[in-house]
Structure 1
Amino acid sequence: MRRTGDRQARSQRIERRISAVSSIAMCVLTVLVQIVVTLLLTRLLKEHASLAYAILELIGVVMAVSVFLRSGSPSYKLSWLCLLLVLPVSGMLLFFLWGGTHQAKTLSLKKVPPPAERESARRQSENNVAKLTRKDAAMGRVAAYLQKRDFLLYNRTSAKYFGDGMEFFDDLIAHIQQAETYIFL
């Protein structure tokens, strides 16, 4: 079992490294394309190079405005804006390659599904949320939000607050001493 976990962790590290290297390589490649395009435009279009590059910059500005008007994370949009305005050719190439959409990292990290609750427990949780909502609307909204994410609301439970670790350990020792058959940890 441990070897499988080590293999998975090693595989995930390798995937992250490959992803990082490919991202850096793509950025370096686009900057090189930016340099090559600039040199080619200067070389081939001696008289009209500034006009052609101005058109590319204008297209980059239009794309930057469209990115600015999109909904989404401001920090994500800011990075695209900077890239499109500072290096318009590279920015446009990257924008066309990646579509300008935020892509979450999709490594082989599989989410563990929550335990399957019996339908009766789920219905009881819905009743508990309804009762809580009648008592306190704000707390009811929080409980409903958590329930949608498979955190059910139970009743007839208790919790004890310990101000410091000594109180907790004293209580823990008292409960351990009350054990009759076994202690499950």
Structure 2
Amino acid sequence: MENDMEAQREKRPLKHLQGLKGRVQNSLSGFLRACIVAVLVAFQFAILIVLPFLLRQYASLFYLVMELFGVFTILALTNDSRSMSYKYGWLCITILLPVSGNIMFALWGKVGKKNKLNRRIKSTIQSVDRHLEWHPEVSDEFRKKHPVSSRMSRYMEANGAPISKNNEARYYDMGENAFEDLFADLERAKKYVFIEFFIVAEGAIWDKMHDILKRKIEEGVEVKFLYDDFGALLRTSTDFAQKLRAEGFEVEVFNPIHKYTSKLFMNFRDHQKILVIDGEVAYTGGFNIADEYANLVDRFGIWKDEGVRLKGDVVWSMVVTFLELWAVCSKNEAIDYERYRAEKTSIQSDMYCHVLRDGPALDTRSFVGSMYKQMIHYAGEKMYVMTPYLILEEAMIETLLEAVRRGVDVRIITPHIPDKKHIKYMTEYNYGILLKNGIRIYEYEPGF
């Protein structure tokens, strides 16, 4: 397997010529699809902006309605439980664009809490969480062994993330190193494979995975494949899902891009990366199914996304996490979870694990964001952070500065080559206050 990956890297120029026609067709079809959506959305925005000029004879009445709309917006933001940065963002939009800004807030301002998909996710999670396994004896044991860390553990359990023991984990500092083991584990699949990723791109990595999965389906292995529509935009053909279904895959697409502004939840995406094999092995991390994550193509220099391979009791939480969103997208909550339970693990270890899930459907307060703050708060000597985006709220900045004042050695690594230039500017904007207060910041020069 390692030789195969090395051969692919050595033949990068040739790889781009293979299947070039199909790649170009996929890119063009995705580009046209994106353009059509953009034109339709722009047309509707134009109507929203031009409408006041067409109603000039009713200007007084129209602007009275807009003033009332503004009052509604302020009241709605005041009562919203989300962060102040979220509220300030919408206030700036409605102040700068008093007409279209208020209309945009009416369309999208409550997307995170009120849209139909979000409500369905919350309802499904509430019914599915009963399938998680809780181990009070493990919680007590962990509390006695690790009294400080157990505070965070209790918080995680209170937010639906049970602790487990008897686990093994293999860490990959580069995504490209994970694929070799991942493909080998797929070859050993006997019952089922669950796949959930944000980005899916047709290329060498997908071709390899696709070939293995097709063979496994022919052998009777059940394959469920869930991906985000926005993450696959421009990276797959328009009939990608249909072709997979014809080959025996079970496929669901999360939150398809819609042409109507009221349904254009561009930022309501599924960023989970999960791959589970027979309930015995699970992969997660930052890598997606695309060639850049294996450094087979050069997009932004050397791509550094990490991953982890899990075995043991923790895998069941990964199974439940996948099936939660699968039930939402398939609109089928009558799933027999016991079908997917593996035999009791033979692993005996003191590795304790939680599986954290977060998102607007779970809690607008951001459970994972709170966890980061707690980890920083409990840091005693050092805290090293590596992140592609350093976009910080005021509360997070203050938490970091408090750690420095306690004498904690805080270091942050960000990429030197960005994937989005405007995000790079925002990241660098945050450098000033952090550097001024003693936080050391480094950039990963080889790439992203």
Q: Normalised by the shorter chain, which TM-score bucket?
A: 0.3 to 0.5
Higher-Rg structure is 1
Q: Of Structure 1 and Structure 2, which has the larger fraction of its residues in strand? A: 2
- Where relative contact order (Cα < 8 A, 6+ residues apart) is larger, the structure is 2
Q: TM-score scaled to structure 1, two decimals? A: 0.46
Q: Of Structure 1 and Structure 2, which has the larger fraction of its residues in helix? A: 1
